[in-house]
Amino acid sequence: ILVNGELVASLPCFVEPKDEIIIDNIAVRKRPSTKRYFLLNKPRHVVCTQSDPDGRRRAADLLPRMKERLYCVGRLDADSMGIILMTNDGELTQKLTHPSFGVPKRYQVVLRGHLTPEAVDKFKNGIYIDGKRTLPAQLKVIAKTRDGCVIEVTLTEGRNREIRRMLLRMGYKVRRLMRVAIGPITDRGLKTGGHR
């Protein structure tokens, strides 16, 4: 075995993608990795996981079969719906999910009850969950109904069930939660269960 022209005398031998590897005088061909990107409009009761012991329908089940394994970029819980990016591009996944990159995710939320101005301010400034304050968020009331309201929330972090937990902590129950945008990517023209 030769790596970059040098004989490998002992194992293990670590290599980089750019290295030239020759085994028994035959060059190892590098397979170009095919990056795949899908935007899925996830319905309720579909899970964002690679396997589910309960046999529930997975987000990956809604996409065409392919040899590359795709992962959900971030998650939406089973009760939530809306857009989720699915890819095998780990670098893009890191840039979209890590809070240090500040990629906004926008949600439409239907609540039971009406938000007070104090609750809106508290939500925008951050709430303590599990001993850590959430990052500042944007919130605006879009519509009011007799017994509730519709709000738009924009977050730059994505803790587990963050919106639901923040609102519940203030005494509000979420009836429906839907992600409508990830950065500049929106759900426009994408039906529930559909992908592009």
Residues belonging to the active site: 77
**CB contact set of 107 (below 8 Å; sequence gap of 6+):** 82, 152, 153, 154, 155, 163, 177, 178, 179, 180
HSE-up of 111 (CA within 13 Å, CB side)?
30
Q: Which amino acid is at 96?
A: L
Query: Phi then psi for 138, rounded to 5 degrees?
Result: -100, 140
In the structure, how many helices (H) and strands (E) does the chain have?
Answer: 3, 14
Cα distances (Å, whole numbers) of residue 64 to 12, 87, 153, 172? 38, 13, 31, 38
